[in-house]
């Protein structure tokens, strides 16, 4: 475990992000035993103009203008920094050499703000943690004063996305080669990183599942009338991540099963044939505290993941949520799902889904099996994930310490 260090955390996700954030959870866990400076994403010119009314933009502008303090203590041993600088919007730049020159300028502006905050906090030889930001974090290992060790954290295969692809496919591998260690939240991403840095490790995914530890509630009103098996999914219905055609085929071939999809839809889901199928029910978005009741009401939970460059390396937190309530789960087989194989039915196509769901529906009542599922999911804590990162980090730097001591 990493202890008694000063740590700088910088990346893509600001502290005040509305959705869940791996980076924020890791920073909070690190702050239990270390002093942590969490650097919020600095404004760039285009975002400042286009998103001027956004609350996060206003917070950054207030800091930039000196209206509010740039450095805020948000917990014991944990501070956030709103950098008082404006970065250039350069991702559109097609020429790599020009992009690199401007990116260095952006990195220097950001590093100046971080160095000033580090001095005010009296940090000593800080450890740098970069969350998946291979643009604004590219030069920071060299520009931040006193930093000798850097951990690069990869949680998404961002270089397949159009915004990041142009320069990211070149810069991310280069950054990985220069850092002390790469920490990944899935086996696929760790294998990808290992091509560029042998000190790359799968540290697992932390999940806050405390919200699921509630007594089973009555079936929600909007699905109370359903007769027959209920097959369900809870989460954002995004066509980039879920296979609409697969769902359509399964639901068409098994009209006696009810398919309940809980969550907000993107346009592709809204316009899909699923809305014309009588055994498919869309509930719309639901309050967070209502979700356990839906999961408890499902006979089988599913994760019909679409396989593409963005999703193939994703850690399926959805599965942990289902298993934490002891539910039988049928999911698409991926490299990241291999660790779940003893607890989840895996398959690759509609026929496989139908066969596995049918098998799950025939499961006899087995409290021991339910408890094993729950225990497995609940073992995926942020404490365990960050502790694993710390163990691997100590193994990486220990030989260097020994060599230095022997001189």
pLDDT per residue over 142-188, tens digit each? Answer: 999 999 999 999 999 999 999 999 999 999 999 999 999 999 999 99
Residues 81-109 have a mean pLDDT of 96
257-308: pLDDT as tens digits: 999 999 999 999 999 999 999 999 999 999 988 999 999 999 999 999 999 9
- How far is 232 from 10, CA to CA, in rounded Å? 37
Q: Please tell me which residue, 104 or 400, carries the higher pLDDT value.
A: 104
Residues 63-78 have a mean pLDDT of 95
Rounded to the nearest 10 degrees, what angle do helices 162-178 and 96-121 cross at?
Answer: 60
CB 11 within 8 A of CB 153: yes
pLDDT at residue 218 is higher than 90: no
Which strands sit side by side in the sheet containing 127-131, from one edge to the other?
Answer: 71-75, 78-81, 35-39, 6-11, 127-131, 149-154, 181-184, 200-202
- 300-303 and 6-11 strand pairing: unpaired
Q: Rounded to two decimals, what is the model's pTM?
A: 0.90
What pLDDT is stored for residue 280 in this prediction?
98
pLDDT at residue 405 is higher than 60: no
What pLDDT is stored for residue 406 in this prediction?
37
384-399: pLDDT as tens digits: 999 999 999 999 987 6
């Amino acid at each position: 475990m990493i202890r008694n260090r000063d740590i700088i955390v910088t990346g893509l996700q600001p502290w005040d992000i509305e959705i869940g954030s791996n980076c924020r959870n890791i920073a909070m866990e690190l702050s239990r035993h270390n002093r942590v400076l969490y650097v919020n994403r600095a404004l760039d010119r285009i975002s400042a103009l286009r998103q001027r009314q956004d609350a996060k933009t206003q917070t950054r502008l207030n800091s930039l203008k000196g209206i509010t303090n740039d450095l805020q203590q948000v917990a014991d041993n944990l501070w956030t920094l709103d950098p008082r600088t404006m970065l250039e919007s350069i991702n559109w730049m097609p020429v790599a050499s020009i992009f690199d020159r401007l990116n260095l300028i952006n990195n220097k502006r950001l590093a100046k703000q971080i160095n000033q905050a580090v001095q005010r906090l009296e940090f000593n030889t800080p450890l740098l943690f970069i969350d998946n930001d291979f643009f604004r974090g590219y030069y920071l290992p060299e520009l931040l004063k006193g930093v000798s060790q850097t951990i690069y954290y990869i949680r998404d295969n961002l270089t397949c996305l159009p915004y990041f692809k142009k320069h990211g496919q070149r810069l991310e591998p280069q950054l990985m080669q220069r850092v002390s260690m790469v920490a990944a939240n899935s086996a696929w991403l760790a294998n990808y990183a290992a091509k560029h840095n042998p000190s790359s490790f799968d540290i697992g995914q932390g999940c806050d599942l405390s919200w699921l530890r509630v007594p089973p509630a009555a079936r929600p009103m909007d699905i109370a009338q359903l007769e027959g098996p209920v097959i369900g999914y809870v989460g954002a219905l995004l066509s980039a991540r879920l296979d609409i055609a697969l769902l359509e085929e399964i639901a068409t071939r098994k009209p006696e099963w009810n398919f309940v999809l809980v969550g907000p839809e993107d346009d592709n889901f809204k316009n899909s044939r699923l809305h014309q199928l009588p055994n498919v029910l869309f509930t719309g978005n639901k309050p967070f505290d209502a979700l356990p009741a839906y999961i408890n009401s499902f006979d089988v939970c599913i994760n019909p993941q679409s396989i593409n460059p963005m999703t193939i390396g994703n850690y399926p937190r959805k599965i942990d949520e289902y298993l934490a309530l002891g539910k039988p789960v049928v999911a698409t087989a991926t490299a990241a799902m291999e660790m779940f194989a003893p607890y989840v039915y895996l398959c690759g196509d509609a026929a496989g889904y139908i066969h596995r769901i049918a098998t799950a529906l025939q499961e006899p009542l087995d409290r021991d099996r339910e408890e094993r599922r729950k225990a497995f999911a609940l073992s995926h804590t942020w404490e365990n994930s960050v502790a694993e990162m710390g163990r691997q980090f100590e193994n990486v730097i220990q030989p260097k310490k020994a060599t230095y001591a022997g001189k």
